[in-house]
Structure 1
Amino acid sequence: MPEAKMGRVEAIEALTRKALWLASWMVHHANHIRPNVDGVKVGGHQASSASMAAIMATLYFGVLRPEDRVAIKPHAAPTFHAIQYLMGRQSRQKLIDFRAFGGAQSYPSRTKDTGDVDFSTGSVGLGVAFTAFASMVQDYVRAKPWADTTRPEGRMIALAGDAELDEGNIYECLLEGWKHGLRNCWWVIDYNRQSLDGVVREGLYDRIEGIFRAFGWRVVTLKYGALQRAAFAEPGGDRLKAWIDRAPNDLYSALMFRGGAAWRERLTGEIGDQGPVSALLDRRSDDELATLMGNLGGHCVESLLEQFEAAGSDEPTVFIAYTVKGWGTPLAGHKDNHAGQMTAAQIEQLRAAHGIREGHEWEPFEGLDQAQDLQAFLNAVPFNKQASRRLSSPAVRGIGPQFVGTGATSTQAAFGRILDAIAKTDSALAERIVTTSPDVTVSTNLGAWVNRRNLFARREMVDLFQKEAIPSTQKWRFTPEGQHIELGIAEMNLFLMLGATGLSHSLFGERLLPIGTLYDPFIARGLDALNYACYQDARFMVVGTPSGVSLAGEGGAHQSIGSPLIGMSQDGLASFEPAFADELAIIIDWAFDYMQRSGDARPDLADWPRDVTGGSVYLRLSTRSIEQIPREMSTPLADDIIRGGYWLKPPTPQCDVVIAYQGVLASEAIEAAARIGGDHRAVAVLAVTSADRLNAGWEATQRARLHGDDTQQSHIERLLSGVPRHAGMITVIDGHPATLGWLGGVMGHRTLPLGVEHFGQTGTVTDLYRHFGIDAAAIARACRSLFGAR
């Protein structure tokens, strides 16, 4: 008779075992077999991967659809790579090179892995929270008249370790999700009750459950597997269940590690009754008893399928799945197993248990029966139906720079007017912009935009102040057509929202152009999430305003110092700090195009590789008004603004000193130049719009020369080539002086950098500029000190 086809549960159980073996072997091979030329620990997380093996196999092989998006628990990366390999989405060589250059990444990465990674993970907690914001963005997109609603809604799913719930950004996210009516979001918690440093506190489950219920989530607890539930139905089973329920976390873990004989001794001693309980235990061998006690809900495919498939509504749902860290391996339950690895003897023990022949460790179906049935099953897995799950959306055409007139103004005010001018149009650009801000919408000059474009909500909400005829400058209503997403005061949430909106084209097939505003010093409060968004190659514009000690009356807590250096050092982010409104108009117009670019470039050779590949943009703006320069915006000037700098007053062969400024100190630089000119000294003034762009172009040129290309010349080299070698240079910025101090190294000019290195305080702008030595008089003194040094 022909062999019966493998059932669904049986197939997933077999693939769970295979994913468990491959994940364990991947880490072992990387650490103990592959040559280690530098002797540095390779690492990996065999135990953390093992605890999620059944959960992940059940989801990927039984539940997920192509439109679903998943954030993997960072430490379960080996299991993820193994599953991708079994589905034909990851190469064997990538597994062999796990944690090596060009191999599968230590933590799943959208940009570094070739596997089907939806959300990068690694900084724990951020991937979890990101799924909630992705769900909100999906709702935003689907509410718009231009959206393709024939594409099915997906579930945004996070697989999280219980220790990840210590991260504060998760709870900030829960509050924001409650406010926005979160839907289609699942979080699956690997409740293994062990963290990096030990076993978690008793009673954690009650705290987790209570928090999620308070925020309107449905809580599904997966505590007992099918084997345990069957045992509970036997005579004496109620006593066994009661013992499991009251067993301390550390005791349960310790007994899991010790095995069946230890379970029998403990259970016999504590609940053995020479009657039904003893009989229940006696009917099982030591191995069977160990299997029974390890059959928690998070390891039982039958139970997982049952609960995942029962969650049919769009209600946000958290599955708390009881597991054992290291399940299915000799490390199971040991408190040191987080970073621990199996010894050679232990991996051989696991090999024998899985029937793996030496030399066949990477074979997809080694040690499994019915390989053809398993392959047929994998071919039919719903999640595996599409070759690529990454979507795309055409770029949105720009409408050109929106110049906003002359006269004294601040860059922050100009930003608001530029957005308002765009809001007045019926362009595709205007309809794809989405703004967001952590409760500083008005004070960052987004008010006019919101008045015209409204706030987003899935259901219409009346502005009661307007309905009651109470005068207000804020004519805001919540509507599905709205284009501003209101957030609370949590910068982590801002950058997670920008990351999610900035990936909408790839996740949901619709292009969005997100703009987020916040007070410039508070970029540091969301820096982890900003870095995370850039690492995913999300595309957005972040506007930090107001900035620097120019925000004089607010004091040191609101005055930024190091944010220009953040802009320079953050990969994936082009940073600008314009002084004048016409510069800002050019930069914003360019930014909308830059945010939508894609292409290949060699970062080691290209003059500015992101000009090909695109990226996100950071604008550092000010509330201080300065007189604008009446001028025509020529194409060469616009190009230089984008490249990072131009000559406001070019150097002559007799030039004695260059004053290079960035941002709002343009007025002080110009005044200082006039004072030095009165000393009959030749002075040049360099307007830096982006130290980031100038520096990166210069660095790229050095790399090109190292590769033998001597034809390259960076923009800053071209600008400074006409400055006599004897001339000195003063750099000045309302921020850390290191932002511009490197300019002296380009051509070897003596340089004195001025800026702000210490916390500010309250006062007038005049007071603080004088205190920090960045006023016109201080700049002039610095110039004269260089003359004396010649």
Structure 2
Amino acid sequence: MHRPATDQTDELHQFETSLQVSPPDANDRPLRASASGEDTVLDEIAQRVLWLATSIIDRANRGRANSDGVKVGGHQSSSASMTGIMTALWFSQMRSIDRVSVKPHASPVLHAINYLLGDLDVGHLDTLRSRGGLQPYPSRTKDPDTVDFSTGSVGIGATAPIWAALSHRYASDRFPDTPTAGRFYSLLGDAEMDEGAVWEAIIDPEVRSLGELVWIVDLNRQSLDRVIPDVQVRRLQGMFDAAGWQVLTCPWGRRLEAVFAAPGGQALKDRLVSMPNPEYQRLLRAHPTEVHERLLAGLGETDAAALRRVIDDFDADSLASLIRDLGGHDLGQLVDTFEHIDDGRPSVIFAYTIKGKGLATEGHPGNHAAQLTEAQMRELAAASGMELDDPWQTFASDSAAGRLCTETADRLRRVDHETHTVAEVPVELGFTPKSIISTQAALGRFLSDLKHVAPEVAHRVVTVSPDVATSTNLGGWINKTGIWSPAGREDWFSDDRERVLKWEEGSGGQHIEMGIAEINLVSLAGELGLTGSRWGQPLLPIATIYDPFINRALEPWTFSLYAGGRSIMVGTPSGVSLAPEGGAHQSFNTPSVTLEIPGLTSWEPAFAQDLEWTLLEALREMADPDGDSAYFRLTTRPVSQDLAAVPSDPLLRQRRREQVIAGGYRLSAHPASQDQVTLVGAGAIMTEVIEAASRLESLGVRAGIVCLSSPSKIFRAVQERSRVNSTSRSAIADELFPSAHPAPLVTVLDGHPHTLAFLAGVRGDRTRNLGVTEFGQASSVSEAYEIHGIDAGSIASSALDLVGR
């Protein structure tokens, strides 16, 4: 005889977790009402969220004119598997001080919830993936409603709450009036666990102390193209456990748990647990009349008999429904799980779900981007108590669901916080650099001088490095400011008299040392740059990294810029000037790549004074809410500072400074009108450029010298000049390359020559672009320059070719 699910509620038992958990901390979270009443209301809201999210995608594809014929797309099934998790979290657990990162393909669910909470106007629901409308994936800078983290890049958005939590802790230690933060939730799909960025973040030593972290994994066991053959949940659980995380699992709904706990129910549990995932996914697509026999298929006589004693009591529809009763869709079960989160360590919850739950595409292996037909949408409307032609209905304000929406909106309403500002950044620090110094060494001097001259500005500077602090010249800064660590550690070498670097870790430091994981570095730098917009306490993050390894972190760094996180990234040492280290540590494409990134100004100053001026300008940009991030390419090669010929006259010095921060200046004593050829360089290569000009002069060829501090600034100036409403920003291009006095150009860079190739178009000059186009090898600097044809002789020879000598 069939046993109704309602008769099984008394048989429910505590679900199993892989680790013991601490008692729940109520904090200021809402208390649960009676399980049956609240669960009914949550289920009603979840069904409405499912309808709204599915309709948002449907209207973007079927309800909007498509003139260009390109598929609009959307992810109805991926959204459906997250509906229960997000409804339970938002309507039972979340607080106004919590922050949450939502998996990319569930953005319609986020918008649906925000709409029910009054955070999104109904006019936006028809605008998914349209100009000015709802973004395909959550975007904190482009969506019209509340989005805490941009998550369009798989793996990067998932880890962002880690770095946000760490950034908040740093800001709170530095500025005691920083607003309180709550939990940092990350909602991610199980396929996202394949991303290396996820594991690089999880194993960072500082992460294990962040009890405010909660990850919820939507374990639907399907990826974009396939059913995942072996989900290996135990392996994942073990990896989180080994990293010090609390691991909770929400595998089954309470109906299934009750059947498992009943006499003989273990046979069904054993069958479902041992069943390969592809077989289970196929079971979901079977007709209800087939489920019974599929469950028995392949079993021996004894096991089959034991299983029949359990499943024979269910009719076909009830059995098909029962095997779908997973924990990620049982909202009461989810709420119970949330209440067992241990705030003393980071936590991960594995919630089992079905991709496409509640849709006609439920469990289909090809449902990732599948769209419901009109007929299927009407069926969903009927099941949801809605109408396809009037899809945006909300709950009546006097209904239980309406009241819960109002209560939740009030609970999640965020309080405005005071926004502090960065003190005025000085135009220069007033110190004379050493006569011979590298730009990398000048970086260390700059930070020390900044702390002395502008302490209020320096107070907001935080440096970060991936285990390369000393080799990128941050030693002096670290000795003055200390290392920041949320846990703090004893320095057992503090009494070693021969130790040069003081490695004191605690809550008062201004340097964060990370493991050798560049993705973590740039992700943390981006979140440190967001503390101003998140909590009103702006920070000025400066990260140092070996220049060749910027490529390794380029995608997450670019994505953090897209999300609004600003930082200064220092790539050093760079180019082939670190010749003895060999090709593995020689970079060539970074000047070109970073020139092309929106919201980023790339700098390659040649001299220490140029570095000071440009770093101060970069700090001013970061202090400006609408300013850019910056990339600095520095070298370990010592350069004579006399070559800079910095004017002593105050007016001319001021003019030089303005030109440096505009992007470049002329080093020639003669005017551009006398150039027979113009040599253009950037960075440490200026030594060879100046030497080449001198050789040409001895041969009777007058060569102008242009020193670029920022190729990207010059490129923008050229672009700006071509617009109808050009501004003063475009003046520097005409100043350096006056159209009235054309001359052939030789551009030189310790990097790929493509970076400066655009200069040929400034006034149509014949141009030779010199640079690094091959992988390097170990050698001396002079040998390296000869190998790549960027030595003084090669520069002069190219100039002679252009002038016909």
Answer whether TM exceeds 0.5 for this pair: yes
Determine the structure 1 residue equivalent to 2:638.
625
Matched, 1:115 2:145: yes
Determine the structure 2 residue equivalent to 1:474.
501
Determine the structure 1 residue equivalent to 2:511.
484
1:597-616 maps to which residues of 2 (within 5 A)? Answer: 597-598=624-625, 613-616=626-629
Which digits, 9 at most, give the CA deviation of each residue in 1:647-697, with x for residues without a partner?
A: 112534332111111111111111111122223333211111101011123
Which digits, 9 at most, give the CA deviation of each residue in 1:719-741, with x for residues without a partner?
A: 14535555211111111111111
Partner Cα separation in structure 2 for residue 370 and residue 511 of structure 1? 40
Partner Cα separation in structure 2 for residue 746 and residue 522 of structure 1? 32
Determine the structure 1 residue equivalent to 2:10.
none
Which piece of structure 1 moves more, 758-767 or 261-270?
Answer: 261-270
Give me the identity figure in percent. Answer: 39
Cα deviation for residue 399 of structure 1 reads: 4.2
Cα deviation for residue 390 of structure 1 reads: 8.4
Which piece of structure 1 moves more, 425-434 or 276-285?
Answer: 276-285
* CA shift in 2, pair 1:389/1:564, >3 Å: farther
* CA shift in 2, pair 1:386/1:36, >3 Å: same
Determine the structure 1 residue equivalent to 2:351.
321
- Counterpart of 2:164, as a letter, is A
Which piece of structure 1 moves more, 70-79 or 194-203?
Answer: 194-203
Cα deviation for residue 154 of structure 1 reads: 1.5
Cα deviation for residue 404 of structure 1 reads: 4.3
Matched, 1:668 2:685: no
SS at match of 1:52: helix
Report the TM-score, using the length of structure 2 for normalisation.
0.90
- Counterpart of 1:53, as a letter, is T
Matched, 1:16 2:46: yes
1:635-674 maps to which residues of 2 (within 5 A)? Answer: 635-649=654-668, 651-674=671-694
Cα deviation for residue 446 of structure 1 reads: 0.5
Partner Cα separation in structure 1 for residue 427 and residue 760 of structure 2? 35
Partner Cα separation in structure 2 for residue 652 and residue 256 of structure 1? 76
Which piece of structure 1 moves more, 669-678 or 375-384?
Answer: 375-384
Partner Cα separation in structure 2 for residue 60 and residue 179 of structure 1? 25
Partner Cα separation in structure 2 for residue 721 and residue 370 of structure 1? 68
Cα deviation for residue 376 of structure 1 reads: 2.3
Determine the structure 2 residue equivalent to 1:461.
489
Contact 1:25–1:361 (CA<8 Å) still a contact in 2? Answer: yes
Contact 1:541–1:618 (CA<8 Å) still a contact in 2? Answer: yes
Determine the structure 1 residue equivalent to 2:528.
501
Determine the structure 2 residue equivalent to 1:62.
92
Contact 1:701–1:712 (CA<8 Å) still a contact in 2? Answer: no
Partner Cα separation in structure 1 for residue 550 and residue 446 of structure 2? 23
Match of 2:271 among 234, 243, 247: 243
Partner Cα separation in structure 1 for residue 727 and residue 141 of structure 2? 31
- Counterpart of 2:660, as a letter, is I
SS at match of 1:198: coil
- Counterpart of 1:637, as a letter, is R
1:756-771 maps to which residues of 2 (within 5 A)? Answer: 756-771=772-787
Which digits, 9 at most, give the CA deviation of each residue in 1:380-412, with x for residues without a partner?
A: 116754257787432333244233424011110
Match of 2:540 among 513, 520, 542: 513
Cα deviation for residue 21 of structure 1 reads: 1.1
Matched, 1:689 2:705: no
Match of 2:228 among 200, 204, 214: 200
Contact 2:746–2:768 (CA<8 Å) still a contact in 1? Answer: yes
- Counterpart of 1:125, as a letter, is G
Partner Cα separation in structure 1 for residue 286 and residue 671 of structure 2? 79
Match of 1:572 among 572, 581, 599: 599
Contact 1:646–1:686 (CA<8 Å) still a contact in 2? Answer: yes
Cα deviation for residue 260 of structure 1 reads: 2.9
Match of 1:412 among 424, 440, 443: 440
* CA shift in 2, pair 1:387/1:466, >3 Å: closer
* CA shift in 2, pair 1:122/1:106, >3 Å: same
* CA shift in 2, pair 1:475/1:5, >3 Å: closer
Cα deviation for residue 700 of structure 1 reads: 2.9
- Counterpart of 1:767, as a letter, is E
Cα deviation for residue 267 of structure 1 reads: 3.8
Partner Cα separation in structure 2 for residue 6 and residue 296 of structure 1? 18
* CA shift in 2, pair 1:505/1:711, >3 Å: closer
* CA shift in 2, pair 1:24/1:389, >3 Å: farther
* CA shift in 2, pair 1:305/1:765, >3 Å: same
SS at match of 1:517: strand
Partner Cα separation in structure 2 for residue 486 and residue 60 of structure 1? 35
SS at match of 1:143: helix
Determine the structure 1 residue equivalent to 2:177.
148
Contact 2:664–2:736 (CA<8 Å) still a contact in 1? Answer: no
* CA shift in 2, pair 1:746/1:75, >3 Å: same
Determine the structure 2 residue equivalent to 1:746.
762
Which piece of structure 1 moves more, 636-645 or 268-277?
Answer: 268-277
Partner Cα separation in structure 2 for residue 664 and residue 652 of structure 1? 23
Partner Cα separation in structure 2 for residue 9 and residue 471 of structure 1? 66
Contact 1:135–1:184 (CA<8 Å) still a contact in 2? Answer: yes
SS at match of 1:160: strand
Contact 1:218–1:318 (CA<8 Å) still a contact in 2? Answer: yes
Contact 2:422–2:457 (CA<8 Å) still a contact in 1? Answer: no
Determine the structure 1 residue equivalent to 2:462.
434
Determine the structure 1 residue equivalent to 2:474.
446
Contact 2:785–2:791 (CA<8 Å) still a contact in 1? Answer: yes
1:526-541 maps to which residues of 2 (within 5 A)? Answer: 526-541=553-568
Which digits, 9 at most, give the CA deviation of each residue in 1:431-472, with x for residues without a partner?
A: 2111110111111001111111111123442221123x3511
* CA shift in 2, pair 1:432/1:652, >3 Å: closer
Match of 1:299 among 319, 329, 332: 329
Partner Cα separation in structure 2 for residue 181 and residue 5 of structure 1? 33
Partner Cα separation in structure 2 for residue 440 and residue 29 of structure 1? 51
Contact 1:694–1:715 (CA<8 Å) still a contact in 2? Answer: no
Measured on the aligned residues, the alpha-carbon RMSD in Å equals 2.5
**Structure 2 alignment gaps of length 5 or more:** 1-33
Determine the structure 1 residue equivalent to 2:15.
none
Cα deviation for residue 16 of structure 1 reads: 0.9
Cα deviation for residue 770 of structure 1 reads: 1.4
Contact 1:136–1:183 (CA<8 Å) still a contact in 2? Answer: no
Report the TM-score, using the length of structure 1 for normalisation.
0.92
Determine the structure 2 residue equivalent to 1:229.
257
Partner Cα separation in structure 1 for residue 716 and residue 727 of structure 2? 17
Partner Cα separation in structure 2 for residue 675 and residue 444 of structure 1? 34
Which piece of structure 1 moves more, 617-626 or 274-283?
Answer: 274-283
Which digits, 9 at most, give the CA deviation of each residue in 1:258-296, with x for residues without a partner?
A: 253332343466699999965754654544333322221
Contact 1:651–1:722 (CA<8 Å) still a contact in 2? Answer: no
Partner Cα separation in structure 1 for residue 158 and residue 417 of structure 2? 20
Which piece of structure 1 moves more, 473-482 or 307-316?
Answer: 307-316
SS at match of 1:465: coil
Which digits, 9 at most, give the CA deviation of each residue in 1:497-556, with x for residues without a partner?
A: 101111112223322111100110100011111111111111211100000011111111
Partner Cα separation in structure 2 for residue 590 and residue 426 of structure 1? 14
- Counterpart of 1:564, as a letter, is P
**Structure 1 alignment gaps of length 5 or more:** 599-612
Contact 1:156–1:184 (CA<8 Å) still a contact in 2? Answer: yes
Partner Cα separation in structure 2 for residue 59 and residue 268 of structure 1? 37
Partner Cα separation in structure 2 for residue 421 and residue 654 of structure 1? 40
Contact 1:652–1:682 (CA<8 Å) still a contact in 2? Answer: no
Contact 1:135–1:183 (CA<8 Å) still a contact in 2? Answer: no
Partner Cα separation in structure 1 for residue 327 and residue 139 of structure 2? 29
SS at match of 1:183: coil
Partner Cα separation in structure 2 for residue 246 and residue 218 of structure 1? 25
- Counterpart of 1:313, as a letter, is D
Determine the structure 2 residue equivalent to 1:610.
none
Partner Cα separation in structure 1 for residue 224 and residue 418 of structure 2? 37
SS at match of 1:112: coil
Cα deviation for residue 183 of structure 1 reads: 2.5
Determine the structure 1 residue equivalent to 2:3.
none
Partner Cα separation in structure 2 for residue 272 and residue 100 of structure 1? 59
- Counterpart of 2:734, as a letter, is R
Determine the structure 1 residue equivalent to 2:790.
774
